Amino acid sequence: MSKHRFVAIGECMVEMAPAEGGLYAMGYAGDTFNCAWYARRLLGPDWTVAYATRAGRDSVSDGMVEFMAAEGIDTGHIARDPDRTLGLYLIQLTEGERSFAYWRGQSAARRLGEDSAWLDQVLDEARVAHVSGITLAILDPAGRDTLCAALGRAQARGTHVSFDTNLRPRLWEDAEAMRAGLLMGASVADTVLPSFDEEVAAWGDASPADTVARYRDAGAGTVVVKNGAGLVTAWTDVDGLVEVAPAPVARVIDTTAAGDSFAAGFLAARLTGAEPGAAITRAATLAGRVIGERGALARGLFD
Ligand code: ADP
Per-residue pLDDT tens over the stretch 6-44: 999 999 999 999 998 989 999 999 999 999 999 999 999
Per-residue pLDDT, 2: 60
Question: Residue with the nearest Cα to atom 19 of ligand 1?
Answer: 228
Nearest to 32 by CA among 15, 7, 68, 8: 8
Distance of CA 1 to the CA centre of its chain: 28
Residue type, 206: A
Per-residue pLDDT, 1: 46
| Residue 83 is among the residues annotated as catalytic for this protein | no
pTM greater than 0.75 = yes
DSSP conformation class of 204? -
Question: Residue with the nearest Cα to atom 1 of ligand 1?
Answer: 259
Residue type, 4: H
* Beta bridge pairs of residue 28: 14
Given the candidates 3.40.50.2300, 3.40.1190.20, 3.40.50.720, 1.10.357.10, the CATH classification of the domain at 5-11+34-49+110-301 is: 3.40.1190.20
Ligand 1 center from residue 58 Cα (angstroms): 36
Mean pLDDT for all residues in the chain:
96
Per-residue pLDDT, 130: 98
Helix axis angle, 116-123 to 141-156, nearest 10°: 40
Question: Residue with the nearest Cα to atom 9 of ligand 1?
Answer: 228
What DSSP letter does each residue of 107-129 carry, written as one string? -GGGGTTS-HHHHHHHHTT-SEE
Per-residue pLDDT, 98: 83
Confidence band (pLDDT; 50, 70, 90) for 246?
A: very high
Residue type, 140: D
Per-residue pLDDT tens over the stretch 194-216: 999 999 999 999 999 999 999 99
Ligand 1 center from residue 262 Cα (angstroms): 8
Exposed, middle or buried by CB within 10 Å (0-12, 13-18, 19+), for 296? buried
Per-residue pLDDT, 95: 78
Ligand 1 neighbours, Cβ below 6 Å, are: 195, 226-229, 232, 246, 249, 252, 255, 258-259, 262, 284, 287-288, 291
Catalytic residue selected from 115, 124, 260, 303: 260
Per-residue pLDDT tens over the stretch 75-106: 999 999 999 999 999 998 887 778 999 999 99
Ligand 1 center from residue 226 Cα (angstroms): 7
Spatial neighbors of 158 by CB under 8 A, at least 6 apart, are: none
- Point out the ligand 1 atom lying closest to the alpha carbon of residue 193: 3
Question: Residue with the nearest Cα to atom 10 of ligand 1?
Answer: 259
Nearest to 28 by CA among 112, 88, 72: 88
Exposed, middle or buried by CB within 10 Å (0-12, 13-18, 19+), for 20? exposed
Exposed, middle or buried by CB within 10 Å (0-12, 13-18, 19+), for 217? exposed
First to last CA, the chain: 28
Please choose from 32, 162, 168, 195 the residue to mutate so as to test ligand 1's pocket, defined by most ligand atoms within 8 A of CB: 195
Average pLDDT over residues 103-132: 97
Average pLDDT over residues 268-277: 96
